[in-house]
C-alpha cells in the first residue's frame, strides 16, 4: 500500500515532468503558447514516468548481467546536471547508430577536467552540455566497452532516461545503484510505478 506522502511526492514529480516537457516542446516550436497549459495537464494525468528497456551485453556487468536484463527507466524531460547526476546509470542515444540506445554510467559533466592515464593524451575540460559516460565492467578494454573512451564526450541532450530498477531473472531483481540524490528523487516513482510481474512478462531471457 502506497502511503499518502509517497503519492504526494509522486504527483509532484509528475507535475515537474509535465511542466519541463511542455516548456521544452514550446521552446522547440512544437506547441504554441495557448497549448502549453493543455499539454501540462495531459502529461500530468496520462502516461507514466517510466518505461521498460531491454539491455544485454558485457559492458554493464555486474550492474546488468551479460545475458541481459529488463530495465525500468525513468523518463527525463531535460537532461542537464539539475536532473542527472554523476554516478547515475543512464540510457542515451548511441553516437554511432542513431536508432540504437546504450546504457552507461554518467562519469563526468560540464566543467570536469578529464585527465588520461596515458601521458601522451592531453587533458581537457568538458564544455557546456557535454558529458562523459563509461561502462561498469572494469575488466573490459576501452574498445570493448564502447564508451566515451572511444567516442568521446556526448551531448547531455542525448540522455533520454535514468535506469532505476533491473530485473535479471524472476528471483534476481532490485533497484539500480545511482547517485544518492537521484535515488532519493526516484524513490516515490519506483514505489508507485514498479510492477515486477509486468517486467517479468516482458523479460526476453
> 59 an active-site residue?
yes
Residue in 9, 74, 104, 162 annotated catalytic: 104
CA-based nearest residue to 174, from 58, 69, 55: 69
Residues ≥6 apart with Cβ < 8 Å to 139:
none
Q: First CA to last CA across the chain, in angstroms?
A: 30
Residues with Cβ within 8 Å of residue 160, at least 6 apart in sequence: 73, 75, 76, 79, 91, 92, 93, 101
For residues 84 and 79, give the distance between their C-alpha atoms in angstroms, rounded to a whole number: 6
Catalytic (active site) residue 201 = no
The answer to whether 45 and 15 are in contact (CB under 8 A) is no
Q: What span, in angstroms and rounded, lies between the C-alpha atoms of 56 and 43? A: 31
Enter the DSSP assignment of 128: T
DSSP 29: T
Catalytic machinery residues: 59, 104
Amino acid at each position: 500500500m502506497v502511503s499518502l506522502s509517497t503519492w504526494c511526492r509522486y504527483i509532484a514529480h509528475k507535475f515537474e515532468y509535465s511542466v519541463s516537457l511542455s516548456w521544452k516542446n514550446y521552446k522547440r516550436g512544437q506547441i504554441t503558447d495557448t497549448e502549453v497549459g493543455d499539454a501540462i495537464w495531459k502529461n500530468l494525468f496520462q502516461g507514466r514516468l517510466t518505461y521498460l528497456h531491454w539491455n544485454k551485453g558485457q559492458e554493464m556487468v555486474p550492474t546488468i548481467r551479460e545475458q541481459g536484463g529488463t530495465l525500468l527507466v525513468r523518463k527525463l524531460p531535460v537532461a542537464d546536471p539539475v536532473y542527472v547526476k554523476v554516478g547515475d546509470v543512464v540510457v542515451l542515444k548511441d553516437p554511432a547508430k542513431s536508432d540504437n540506445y546504450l546504457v552507461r554510467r554518467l562519469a563526468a559533466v560540464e566543467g570536469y577536467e578529464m585527465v588520461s592515464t596515458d601521458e601522451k593524451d592531453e587533458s581537457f575540460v568538458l564544455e557546456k552540455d557535454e558529458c562523459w559516460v563509461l561502462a561498469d565492467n572494469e575488466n573490459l578494454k576501452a574498445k570493448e566497452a564502447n564508451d566515451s573512451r572511444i567516442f568521446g564526450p556526448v551531448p547531455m541532450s542525448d540522455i533520454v532516461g535514468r535506469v532505476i530498477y533491473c530485473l535479471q531473472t524472476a528471483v534476481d531483481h532490485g533497484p539500480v545503484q545511482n547517485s544518492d540524490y537521484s535515488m532519493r528523487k526516484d524513490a516515490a516513482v519506483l514505489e508507485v510505478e514498479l510492477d515486477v510481474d509486468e517486467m517479468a512478462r516482458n523479460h526476453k531471457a
